[in-house]
Amino acid sequence: YMSTIGTTVSKSSARNFASLPHFDRPTYLMCPPEWYDINYVINPWMAGNLHRPSRDLAFTQWKELHSQLQRVADIRLIHGQQGLPDMVFVGHAAVVQHGIVALSSFAHPQRQTEERHLRRWFETAGFLLWETPRETAFEGEGDALFNAAGDHLWAAHGVRTCLQSHRHIADAWHTEVSSLHLIDPRFYHLDTCFAPLAGGHLLYFPGAFDKPSLARIEAAYTPKMRIAVTEAEATHFACNVINVGQEIILGQTGSDLGGRLEALGYNVAEVNLSEFIRGGGSAKALALRLSDTRVTHQARG
Ligand code: ARG
């Protein structure tokens, strides 16, 4: 299978596993919005928003997100590139765990040029690179998320990422993978409708999934551990959260979701990310996890 789809593992894979990057603190990668804009339409949110984001406002909002995240995590930066307006959504560039990085193969040509910049950044930082073939699209943490324990991968298909990529991605860590089918074009990435939280909870929008996928989710998370958001919350990107231990950072949901999460023991910070929502992304899409997911409670999801 791997040889037929042309997997290549870079020469950095020859390095000793013990020398792979390791983070003692939660660590994320972000990309400042110097070149952020909406130049094309590749998701329903971008329609009607061509060139509408204010870059000044986007910068202010991004800096607020950065300073909220910096309270609880270290942040590395990658420079944006002129002509790559979506590179700010660095959460879709890869999935990282144990110093191994599964690099994305973007579905749309408009974002494929981002790949070489990210590959170079990860190579320089000493990560082990796991390439994904062009013919099986895969969009990083947009469509593949580890559970809190870090031993199970949830991967979506149906819009951007191909089902055929799931097994290949999971093999980077020899981990189990469950595939979920996305059926609503507004929720075109898994991270728009599904967020495993460190406390073992799952924040999700049930309407984004087909029946067998919902059954899989419900088999893994007991009713007590499932936090379903409403359609109105989901369309405010309520599931697109950054979660570090008990801290949750998200865009403004205009609802009582923050209170519901706080009742479960989380601390919630809401940041206005309106300019990025025009592009189809919110908090989670603007930061890529580099450190490992960790168990903070006993719950397993
Ligand atoms: N314009 C970007 C794209 O369509 C936005 C990505 C935001 N995605 C997300 N999962 N929140 O690729």
Distance 69 CA to ligand 1 centre (A): 20
pLDDT tens digits, 262-274: 999 999 999 999 9
Structure tokens, 255: 């609802």
In angstroms, what CA-CA distances link 161 with 49, 115, 143, 181, 187?
24, 15, 7, 10, 13
* 91: phi then psi, degrees, rounded to nearest 5: -60, -15
ipTM of the complex: 0.93
pLDDT tops 90 at residue 205: yes
User: Mapping DSSP to helix (H, G, I), strand (E, B) and coil, where does residue 179 land?
Assistant: strand
Q: What integer is the mean pLDDT of 117-125? A: 96
Nearest CA to ligand 1 atom 1: 279
pLDDT tens digits, 214-237: 999 999 999 999 999 999 999 999
Ligand 1: lining residues by beta carbon, under 6 Å: 42-43, 46, 86, 89, 111, 142, 189, 191-192, 240, 279-282, 285
Mutate to test the pocket of ligand 1, among 30, 39, 41, 43 (most ligand atoms within 8 A of CB): 43
CB 145 within 8 A of CB 177: no
Position 80 scores a pLDDT of: 96
pLDDT tops 80 at residue 65: yes
Q: What integer is the mean pLDDT of 236-249? A: 97
Mutate to test the pocket of ligand 1, among 45, 189, 237 (most ligand atoms within 8 A of CB): 189
